[in-house]
Amino acid sequence: MKVLVVGGGGREHALAWKLAQSPKVQAVYVAPGNGGTALDSRLENIAITDVKALREWAQAEKIALTVVGPEQPLAAGIVDEFRAHGLRVFGPTKAAAQLESSKAFSKAFMKRHGIPTAEYETFTDAAAAHAYVDEKGVPIVVKADGLAAGKGVVVAMTLHEAHEAIEFMLAPNPDFNPLGVTHNEGGARVVIEEFLQGEEASFIVMCDGKNVAAMATSQDHKRLLDGDEGPNTGGMGAYSPAPVVTPEVHGRAMREIILPTIKGMEKDGIPFTGFLYAGLMIDAEGKPKTLEFNCRMGDPETQPIMMRLKTDLFDVMMAATSGALDQIELDWDRRPALGVVMAAHGYPLNPRKGDVIHGLTKPGDAPEDAMVFHAGTRKDGDTTVTSGGRVLCVTALGSTVKAAQQRAYEVAQGLGFDGAQYRKDIGWRALKP
């Protein structure tokens, strides 16, 4: 069987790496892939990003299964395009992907179906948004309505930060877009919502339209600096499982958030298939609320989750695209896994590209308990260089979170590139007394 993974980040490297381990898979293609997928002899990069061209290539190559990693092609309707031509593809349709691509759609959906989330208002007018912030005070959360590669959410602790975020997200000048927001139809919009207290966790499930299979729980670190300080990023590291998601919290999240979402989408005539990622805020009493939905696996959560998955991912994906997820049981390595993101100089606002990465080994030479997943990398002759903000995710298994943390940092210290920055405390929440 031939498999195609769409995307070029760390999430896609991890998915392709796992799919290539299946004895039923003869070839895994990654479009467009990165420097890490280029280094792996079991994977082959395909330099196609256009949705129609990719569909035509998949038809010509008789691809048995396509797995879509990032949000942009999902929001562009890649699943609709592939399905319309009889191709098996795992991911949500363009309509279903609005749960992520439009914060306004997502919040209205949650309100309509009684799914616990923060109170909010939506604005297109900057003056009204500024007035609302002045009325409500801080802390407050400002979200761009469109996609922004994980950087479209500002948790404002001061009025200045809140007003600046509104200016960035509702800027009248189309050339001024420091957060890289892709505006939806109707132009720029912001969702402003109450700040929720508690601890965040990533709750990711697979859906086939009706049935749900929960992935291992995980928790990521969004802030750039140790102690959860500094600017928000796409994620500086993650670990699995997340101790904050107790069996009780897990049960509540399934009953109150995940299952009502799947039923609500079906009721609205847009059944959800693919990965559904609920970003949860869990309060001191163990009550989860939905911060946001993503319509794909998280990055960097995918990397430790894939390290722990023992079930053949190809079998799982085939069941998920056949409406048979209720017949699958996921088996997990009992050991925790932890991933540390190494980011480029200047990340997140002005990441530098082209720095040579030292210390990389071929995937076949990687130790059994550790793996270096690539994100912002590309091949340049015989060397691998940085090509994005988040460059590598050094991921390791350990008998405890502490052991996994020590192993990941041990491997990270053998890697380097000019200006590399990474946090030294990934996993600290799981290690606190």
Q: What is the pLDDT of residue 151?
A: 62
Q: What pTM value is reported for the model?
A: 0.92
Instruction: Tell me the C-alpha to C-alpha distance, in Å, between residue 343 and each of 93, 340, 371, 391.
Output: 32, 10, 17, 5
- Residue 407 above 90 pLDDT? yes
pLDDT surpassing 80 at residue 121? yes
Query: Using 50, 70 and 90 to split pLDDT, how confident is the model at 177?
Result: low
| Percent of the chain residues topping a pLDDT of 70 | 96
Query: Given this model, what pLDDT does residue 251 score?
Result: 97
Work out the pLDDT band at 183, boundaries 50, 70, 90: confident
pLDDT single digits (tens) 300-354 = 999 999 999 999 999 999 999 999 999 999 999 999 999 999 999 999 989 999 9
Write out pLDDT tens, residues 137-166: 999 999 988 776 666 888 999 999 999 999
pLDDT of amino acid 150: 60
Summary mean pLDDT of the chain: 94
Q: Comparing 91-95, 184-188, 268-272, which segment has the lowest mean pLDDT? A: 184-188
Give the per-residue SS3 of the chain. CEEEEEECCHHHHHHHHHHCCCCCCCEEEEEECCHHHHHCCCEEECCCCCHHHHHHHHHHCCCCEEEECCHHHHHCCHHHHHHHCCCCEECCCCCCCHHHHCHHHHHHHHHHCCCCECCEEEECCHHHHHHHHHHHCCCEEEEECCECCCCCEEEECCHHHHHHHHHHHCCCCCCCCCCCCECCCCCCCEEEEECCCCEEEEEEEEEECCCEEECCCEEECCEEECCCEEEECCCCEEEECCCCCCHHHHHHHHHHHHHHHHHHHHHCCCCCEEEEEEEEEECCCCCEEEEEEECCCCCCCHHHHHHHECCCHHHHHHHHCCCCHHHCCCCECCCCEEEEEEECCCCCCCCCCCCECECCCCHHHCCCCEEEEECCEEEECCEEEECCCEEEEEEEECCCHHHHHHHHHHHHCCCECCCCECCCCCCHHHHCC
**Are 305 and 216 spatial neighbours (Cβ–Cβ below 8 Å)?**
yes
Residue 260 has pLDDT above 90, yes or no: yes
